[in-house]
Amino acid sequence: MKPLDRHEGDSDSDDTNSQPDQSDRSSSDSASEGGGDPVYFPEEETPVPQASTDPTTLWQNITNDPDLRKLLKDWDEVEKTGKLEKDNSQNQPAELATPDQAKLEALRHEKEEFYRPEITKCIQQSFIHTVMEHATATTLQMTLFLLGLILEQEPDQICSSRHAIPILHQAIDVEVNKEPVRFRGFTSRICKLVDDSNRSAAIAMRNAKEENCLHLVVRHNIHDAKGIISSVSPNSQPNAFTQRRKSAAKLENGNTPLHDALHFERLGRRTIPCQTKELKQSDWCDECKRAAKANKYLPEFKGYYHGIIKELVKGYPDVLKQHNSAGHPPYTFHLETRTQSVESLKRLSQDPPTATTTLTNSKNKGADGQASRPKAKGKSGNDFKLGPRANSWRLDKPPEKDHPNEPINSKTRTEEKHMGTTAKDPNADEDGQKESEGAIEKHKEPWQYDSGSLENSGRIVSYLENNIHDMSGGYEDMIRCFFQDTDTRKTEAQNKQSRPKDCVFRLPTRVTHRTTNNYDFLKFESRLALVSLSLRPELLDSSSNVVQSKDQLKTIADNDAANIIKVFRWLKDKGVTKILKLVVDDNPDRVCSEEAIEKCLECMDEIRFLDWDRPDLAVPTIKKARRLIELSLYSTGTNAVLHHWSDQNGLVQLPKLRKIVVRAEEGLETPQRNIDNLDKFKKRLKKRFKTDKGQEIDVVIDKTDMEGSGNTPSGKDKSQGSPTKASKHAGFEAAGKFALALKNMQRAISTGRKVKVALMDDGVNPEYSDLGTHLACNGFPQSSLDGRLAPFYTSTKGHGSKMAWIISSLCPFVEILVAKIDNQDHPGDLPNPELEVDQAVSAVRWALDEGADIISMSWNFKVTPEVIDEAELLRKMLDKSTAVVYCAARDNRGSDPADTRYYPAECETSQKESLRKIGAATTYNLPQKYVTPDKTDYIFPSENVLPGAADSDGGNSVATAVAAGVAALVLHCLREDKALDRLVKSVTPAKLLNKVFTKLQDSGTKYVDLAELFTCKTGEVPNPRLLVNRVLVHAGLIHPDVESSVLRETSHNKTDFSSYLG
C-alpha cells in the first residue's frame, strides 16, 4: 500500500530546480470514521517506478516523487520547529496537515522500503556520486534521504571519490561554495550516517593537495566543526589528525589540521585606518576595503577556540609533537605566523603602495587592453582564504582575483589605491586616473592587528603550553613540542641572511666572574631547551688539590654564588624567560646557599626540569622554580629532610610535579640505614600524592653514588686558561707586534664589517685568552636541543682554541666562525683533529653560506671508495668558492702508498689561487722534516708560535692558522684604507694574497718572510696605509716610489703614532 498524496501537483517550495510531477492523482473524498488517518489507494493501483539501472534516471524518478517531497518537507519542519505549519490551501482537514512525528516516521519508513530495491541495483554504478553531483538541484532532506539508503546498505561508499575528490570534500564544496544557506550542516549530517570506522576513514581521505576533511573543516570553519572533529577515532589508520598537506608556501607545507587552525591570520582582526567619520566606505583605500572584507569572514574566537582548536588537541594530543616540512610543531608555527603577520603589516605601513599602481597607460595594459596590476611587496603566501568561496582546494576552478578572502600577505594581492584618497584630477586620462605623481599621503594611523587578536593569541599560547606540559612523555617529547627542528632553523636563518638564536647554553667550564663577558657573543631564544652550568673545580685547577681553610672555602662559595647569580641575570637581560631543563653541577666542597639558589631560580618565569646538585634542598627553595614537572633531588639520607619532602607541606605542594628522581649520596648514616630511610620515604610520598591530590607520582631512587665513587665530570676542555709568555718565532712576533699596534690605534678600529675567518677544528673555548670577544654568535653544528651534541664553544682537546688564539693575535679585528668537526672524544693527542668526512664537508658548505672571507682547515682525510662522493662534493665546493682557503699540507710521516690521495691538500681545483696548502717552518725558516716542499704552496712559522715547551712545534696546523691570521690582517687594512679600493678593483683577495706571499717567499724553501712585510724601519709607525702600500708593492700593483711618497706623507702627519707602539 502507498499513502495517498495529500497535495495534488505540489512542488517543494525550497526546490526551484526540480521538475514538477508528470501526472496528477486525485485524492479520495472519503475518510475513515476516525478522520485524520491518511487514505490509501488499493495496492494494485500503486504506481511502481520504472525499473532502471541508469543512476540519473533513478535520481530523477525519486526526486520527482511529490509524496516523498512533501513528506521530507514536513520532516524538515518537524526537525527545525518540532511541529508542522498548517496548510489548508487544498481545503484539507487540519488533522491531516499536522500529523505527529510517529506517523511521519512510519511514512518515511514506507518510502525507504519502496525505493530500496531500485537503489540497491544502482549502488555499484556510482549512484552516490550522481546524488552528490545533483545535490543542489533538490533539497537537503532529499539528498540526505538518498545518501542514507545508499550508506545503510554499503557504508564504505562514503570512502569513494570521483575525479580525485572524495565524497566529504564534495559535501564541503556544496556547503561552503554552492549552497551555504540551504545546505548548512550538510557535511556533519553525512558523517552521522555511517559508523565510526567508515567515518574516520572517509575523513582521512585526501584530495590532490593531500588535504583531508579536517584541513577543509578548519579552513572554512563549517557548521558543527566540533562534532566532525570529535567523531574521528584517534586510533584509526591513517590518522586524520597527523596527516600533512602540500602547500606552495614553505612555512605551511606539511601542515596538519592543527597547524592550519593555529595560523594567526585565522584570528587576526586588522584595524582599518580609513574607518573615520569623514570618509564613506566607498572612499576607503583598497587595502582598508580588503581588510574590512577579511575581518568579515573571520570566525568568532570563542566558538573557533573551543570548537576547533581544543577539539583537535583533545582528539589526539600527540599531534602537538608533529612537525611540518618547515620543522615547526604547532606551537612554534603559531608564534612564527604571528610574527610574520605583524611584521608584514608593519612593513606595509612603513612602505605603502605608490600611486603608480593605478596607471592604465599603454605600458601598464595587458594583452586584453585592461590595466595590469603589479604585485604588492611582501611575503608570499599562505593558503588561508576565508569566506564562503574560499575553495582553494578545488583544482577545476581558478581562484578569483581581488576576492575579499584573498590572504592579506599573498603575493597575488594587487594594490589599486593607497593610504588615503585623492580628488579626481582634471588632467586625468580617459579612465579617470592620473599619471603617477608619487606616493599618496599616509594614514595617520598604521595598519596593525587589534589588541583583542593579540590577546586571543596569548590565550591560545597559554592553552598549548598547558597541554604540552600535561601530556605524557619526558624531556625529549617536550623538545619536539616547543622547538623547531635545528637543521630547519639553521636553513631558514641562512635564507634570511641572519643567524639562528641558540636554544641551548651548555657551559664547558666552571662559572667564573668572566663567564658573562666571554659568552656575550651568544644570542638566545626566549625559551631555552637546556641550560647546563658547573661550579665544580676543574680537574687541572691546582687549587683543587690543596687543603683549604673554612674561610677560604667560604670565600670560594661566596664568589661562586655571586658568579652564578650574575649568569642568570645575564640570561634574563638577553631575553631568556623560560628554561625547559636546568642542570647545575654545584661545588662539592662548598655548595651554594639556598638564598643564592632562590635568586637564580627567581630570574626565570618557568623551569620544567630541575637538576641542581645540591644535597637536601628545601621545598620553599624548590618552589621558586615555577611549573616544575620533573625534579632531581640529592639526599644524604637524613630522615628529617626526607620527612620534610614527604609531609603535607612538602613536594605535594608542587601542582604540576609528576616525577621525582632521588640520588642517594653517602652521609652520616650507614649505607643500609640510608637505603631503609629512602624506601620508607618513597612509600610515604606516593601515598601522600594519592591521598591529597588523587594522582600517582613516579618516584625513582638512584643508589649508584651511595658508596661515594668520587667521580668528577669528564670531557672538560683542557684548554682552560691563557697561554703563558715565551719566546716567539721572529716572523710571527713581527706580525703580532704590528697587529697589536693597530689594535691600540683608535683610528685603526674597523668601521665596517669584520673579516670573517671560518676555523674548522675541534671547537673553541671562549674563555681561552678571552676568545669569546672574537667569536661569531653561532657556529657549526647547531647545538642539539637534548644537549647530547657538544656545542661549538667547547674544544675537545684544546686544539681549536689554540688555532683561534693565533688568528686573533695576528688580526684583532677578526670574527671567527667556529666549525666544530670533532664532536666526539677521541683517544691520543693532536696535532690534527679526528673527524667524520661528511661532517667536515657540511662544515665547508656552512662556512661558504655564512660568507666567510677566509677558511682555515688544519686537517686532511684519506680519499677511499667509501668517501669518494663526499670528496668530489668538497672539490666542487672549493672550485666555486670565492673565499680564501688555507689547508694543512699533507705530511710525509705516513706509510701510505704513493698513489694515496688526501683531501683537501691534494684537491685539484680550476681556481688554484683560492686553495693553498700550508707547511710548517722551523725557527731557522726551513721546512720541517715532515713537509714536502714540492707538495706545499707556502711555508709559515710553526715553532715557537704557541707558548710552552710542549708546543715548540705546532706542525702544519699552526702554520695554517698563521697564514689565515696574516691574510685576515691584510684584508682588514685593505678595507680600512678605502682610498686604494680603485687599485684592487680588478684583483680578487685570493689573487692579491698569493702575489704577496709568492713575492715574500724564498724560492728554495718556500718560506714566507713575515718579518719583511711587518717590520717597521726607523721612523716608521705601524698603520693601515703602511701595510696596504707594502702589500700593493709586493703584488706589483704600484711602483715603490708610490710607497715612498706615502711614507713621507705619513711621517708628516700630525698624529703621533709612537704612543701606539706595543
Show Cβ contacts of residue 943 under 8 Å, excluding neighbours closer than 6 positions: 729, 920, 921, 922, 923, 952, 953, 954
CB 798 within 8 A of CB 717: yes
Cα 211 from chain centroid (whole Å): 22
Task: Count CB-CB contacts under 10 A for residue 369.
Answer: 8
∠ CA 622-627-628, rounded to 5°:
55
Write a three-state SS string for 877-928: HHHHCCCEEEEECCECCCCCCCCCCEECCCCCCCCCCCEEEEEEECCCCCEC
Show Cβ contacts of residue 742 under 8 Å, excluding neighbours closer than 6 positions: 748, 812, 813, 969, 973, 1022, 1023, 1024
Nearest 10 degrees: CA dihedral of 105, 106, 108, 114? 160
C-alpha 731/C-alpha 940 separation (Å) is 9
Q: Point out the catalytic residue in the list 215, 799, 972, 1034.
A: 799
Active site residue 134: no
Is the bond preceding residue 827 a cis peptide, omega within 30 degrees? Answer: no
C-alpha 884/C-alpha 991 separation (Å) is 9
C-alpha 860/C-alpha 857 separation (Å) is 8
CB 184 within 8 A of CB 157: no
Hunting for cell 691563557 — which residue is that?
A: 722
**3-class secondary structure, 807:** helix
Hunting for cell 564504505 — which residue is that?
A: 156
CB 142 within 8 A of CB 69: yes
Is the bond preceding residue 329 a cis peptide, omega within 30 degrees? Answer: no
C-alpha 1051/C-alpha 344 separation (Å) is 55
C-alpha 466/C-alpha 606 separation (Å) is 12
Show Cβ contacts of residue 889 under 8 Å, excluding neighbours closer than 6 positions: 905, 917, 918, 919, 931, 932, 935, 936, 937, 956
Q: Extract long-range pairs of 1027-1031: CB within 8 Å, 24+ residues apart.
A: 1027/738, 1027/969, 1027/970, 1027/973, 1028/973, 1028/974, 1028/977, 1028/980, 1031/970, 1031/973, 1031/974, 1031/992, 1031/996
What is each CA distance from 303 to 80, 257, 311, in whole angstroms? Answer: 22, 17, 11
C-alpha 391/C-alpha 384 separation (Å) is 10
Q: Point out the catalytic residue in the list 12, 560, 761, 891.
A: 761
Active site residue 323: no
> Euclidean distance between the first and final Cα of the chain, in Å?
116
Closest CA to 311 of 426, 207, 231, 399: 231
Q: Point out the catalytic residue in the list 231, 719, 942, 957.
A: 957
CB 867 within 8 A of CB 861: yes
H-helix or E-strand spanning residue 531: strand 527-534
Hunting for cell 491518511 — which residue is that?
A: 38
Tell me how many helices (H) and strands (E) the chain has: 34, 17
Active site residue 24: no
Hunting for cell 721572529 — which residue is that?
A: 730
C-alpha 470/C-alpha 656 separation (Å) is 8
Going by their DSSP bridges, the two strands 165-166 and 902-903 should be labelled as unpaired
C-alpha 66/C-alpha 2 separation (Å) is 13
C-alpha 569/C-alpha 831 separation (Å) is 39
C-alpha 385/C-alpha 323 separation (Å) is 23
C-alpha 150/C-alpha 962 separation (Å) is 82
Catalytically annotated residues: 761, 799, 957
